[in-house]
Structure formats: C-alpha cells, structure tokens
Amino acid sequence: MSDKKSVKLNRDLGLPSALSLVIGTIIGVGIFIRQATVLKETGSTSMALLAWIIGGVITLTAGLSVAEIASKMPHAGGLYSYMEHIYGRLWGFLSGWMQVIVYGPAMIASLGVYLAILLAEFFHFNHAWQLPLSIVVVLLVGGLNLLANRFGATFAIVTVIGKAIPITAIIVFGLFFGDQHAIGQSVQVVQEHVGNFGVAVLGTLYAYDGWILVTNLGEELKNPRKMLPKAIVFGILAVIVVYVLVTFATFKSVNVDVIATKGDDAIPYLVTSAFGQIGGKILSIGIIISIAGAMNGKLMSFPRLMFAMARDHELPFHKQLGYLNMKSQAPTHATLATMGIALFMIVFSNADWLSAKAIFIVYVFYVMIFVGIFLLRKREGVDKSKFTVPLYPLTPIVAIVGAVFVLYNEVITDVEGVLLSLGFVLLGVPVYYWKKRQQKRDGFVREIRNLEDDEEEAVTE
C-alpha cells in the first residue's frame, strides 16, 4: 500500500469543476418530476412558484452558513470533518458513518435504478434488463472515478452542459411561445389534495439537496478557502434560477389541470407537445445525462469521505480504505467499497426506500452544523480574511428553521422511518468505541491537520 505521506489527493480542481459538481449533483431528476406534486400541494401556480423560491432561499442560507465553515476547514470529509471539529470525534464519526454506509450508497443505488428504467424505456428493452442495466451504469460511472479526479470533473462539466440543452429548450419555449397564465392559475381537478404549503416546500428542499457534497473534495480544490464558498454559493444560486425558470415555463406552457393530471409525466408531455416525438426523445436523453451527472458527483464525493475516515483509522479495514493509487492519486479502494455497497442495495434491497429514511438523519446533522456557526464564532472568533456568512445571525437562523421544518415533517409523517434512521446511526456507536480501543491498543495518534497550512494550496486569481 502506498504511504499516505508520499501519495496525496491531487489538488488540481478549479472553479468550473467545483461549480459543475455542485450544479450537477443537485440537478438530477427532481426538477423534471416534482412540478405536479408541488402544484397540487399548493393549489395554484403563484403559490407553487413561491414554494420553489422559498426552498431555494432556505437552501442558499444553508449553503452560505456551511461556506463559512468550509473556508476555515478545507479538508476531505466535508460534514464529517466539520462535525468532528465542532462537536468532537463521536459526532464526527456518526455523521460520516451514516453517509458512507447508508445514505451515500443508497442515493447512488436509487439513481442507478432510475437511470436503468429510463435507458430500458429509451431503447425499448424488456423490463428484465433493468437490474443488469442498474449494475452496469454504477460500474461505468464508478469506474470513471477510479481514474484521476480530472476525469470525473470533466464528466461533471460535460453532463452539466448536456442537461442544460433540454432545460434551456423548456425555458425558451415557455417564455416565448407559452400561451397560459403562469401566475394566478388555480388547480380545479384535484382540490382534495390541495392545502399543504409546507409539504410543497419540503418537496422542493429534497430537489435542492446535494450541494454539500462538494465539501468532501476540499483537499482536491485549488485554493479551497476561496473556492469552496464560491462553488457552494454560486452553484446554489444557479440552480435556484434554473428551477424557478423551468417551473414558470412549465406553467406558461401547460394548463395547470393538465399538469396536475399528468403528474410525473407533465414535463415529458410539455416537450412532446412542443417539439413532437423527437423532442420527447431529446428530453429523455437530457434526463439520462442529468441523472448520470448526479451519480458521478456522488461517486466522486462519498468515497472521499470514506477515505478521510479511513485515514483517521475510524473505519474497519482502514488500511485498505485509506489507500490512494500512486498513479491516479484517487481513493480507489474507497470508491470500490462505495460501489459495492450501492450494488448490494440494488440487488437485495429497495434503495429508494433506504435513501428516503436516511434523509431524516442527514437533516439532523444539518441542524447541528448550522448551530455550529454560532459555536465556532464564540470559540474562535471571526476571521475577516476568510469567507464570513452575510447577514449574520439571520442567515444561519433561517437555515436552522428550514432544517427543523424538514425534521418536523418527517416525524409527523413517518415515525417508523425516523426510528429506523436513528437505528442506522446508533449502529455506528459500538463500531466507534471498538475502533477507539483498537487505536489505543496500537498506539495510534490522530494526525492533526494544520488549518493554516496554505503552502500546498495553489493560489488562483
């Protein structure tokens, strides 16, 4: 195994790569299928647009809050590193354990399953092909991330450009050729489902999720103290603009009752009506590219988290999982392990169900990290030379309220799922203490990463 002192993560990713990872990881399939859901919950186009805007504002405040922490701690591991620094090793471990064992692989698996369904439909394959196709797409995208990080970063840029084509087509058609009233229309055919604005905002928050994963690549970005805040903030802003414009264009192109009736097929119906069968095929290609890009972002990000934990001797088989390939400087064993868990979930479980249950715990840690802004400022003060969250303390307070809102809705709608999510996290407690005893027995001393060491950070203009 290569010595971690001599082989390090390759710090060569620039702002375009970081932005593409943020945008590509967020924009998966949510914007294409949640239009009808949000509309039916709000009852009108005006309130549905407001729900997408509020969801975006909450996400932006969350991103701004994390950006301040990221500028202080630009390390591989993201949330895991931040939680450990603020709350101690146990909480850091549990946040990482939850992500690498359940949440990350489940999200990759669910994207693989959905991508396989679309590919089977696009090429008119028999449904029996969906399972092997799911396995193949995870292996292909994962295999790309066994190479040097520039290949995954390039794929992220290509997929962002690819998904921009159908999104641009929807926006342009709606704005210039749509003949409906995008503001003020009310749903008539599904009034019995209308009235829960909070659930609508919740749906948009899930569509906005994924932006934090770029922080797992903190040790591979050029000048990450400046790059991470820019990537997070500008990436989220770009997604908000895209989501609101796509929603507005959809409402301007298709009658609201038709959208409500079509459900997940509302946007495919829009594109087919506007551009014919060829347009429908183009949209399918756009969604396929979009999902592949989102999967790529996760397969770049979660193995970096697993690597960071293994480097700290906090996972079983840490020597193997902490391996960096000497040639590619990629965490190849951690990538293979993440792919392996995802493939296990595809074959033996319902990955969508697992990922939905893990959402609750992700937001528990979100609340803790947003509160951590206040704790860090009290403990360490404010460093004006680094990024600081604007409109403090209002911005992190809005982020906290938004995350608590998600937790509240999960508790009242799915108590069983909440308890199961907590169970997944609690399974990590005995693992943590077992590894702690093992470290003590082996005389392992944790490496203290120097937060002020800028010598390895290439300064970019």
pLDDT at 237: 94
pLDDT at 371: 95
Could you tell me if residue 369 is inside a domain? yes
What confidence category does residue 460 fall into, taking pLDDT thresholds of 50, 70 and 90?
very low
Q: What is the distance between the alpha carbons of residues 166 and 160, in angstroms, rounded to a whole number?
A: 11
Q: What is the distance between the alpha carbons of residues 217 and 179, in angstroms, rounded to a whole number?
A: 45
What confidence category does residue 50 fall into, taking pLDDT thresholds of 50, 70 and 90?
very high
pLDDT digits (tens, 9 = 90+) for 164-202: 888 888 899 888 888 777 787 777 655 554 557 888 888
Q: Which CATH number covers residue 69?
A: 1.20.1740.10
Could you tell me if residue 23 is inside a domain? yes
> pLDDT at residue 455 above 60?
no
Number of domains in the chain: 1
Could you tell me if residue 7 is inside a domain? no
Could you tell me if residue 1 is inside a domain? no
pTM score, two decimals?
0.83
Could you tell me if residue 376 is inside a domain? yes
Could you tell me if residue 447 is inside a domain? no
Q: Output the CA torsion sign for 64, 69, 71, 74.
A: negative
What confidence category does residue 11 fall into, taking pLDDT thresholds of 50, 70 and 90?
low
pLDDT digits (tens, 9 = 90+) for 405-430: 888 888 887 788 788 888 888 999 99
**In the numeric block, which tokens belong to residue 359?**
């959402």
Q: Provide the residue range defining the domain that includes 232.
A: 15-441
**In the numeric block, which tokens belong to residue 456?**
């390895």
Could you tell me if residue 457 is inside a domain? no
pLDDT digits (tens, 9 = 90+) for 351-377: 667 777 777 888 889 999 999 999 999
Could you tell me if residue 389 is inside a domain? yes
pLDDT at 456: 45
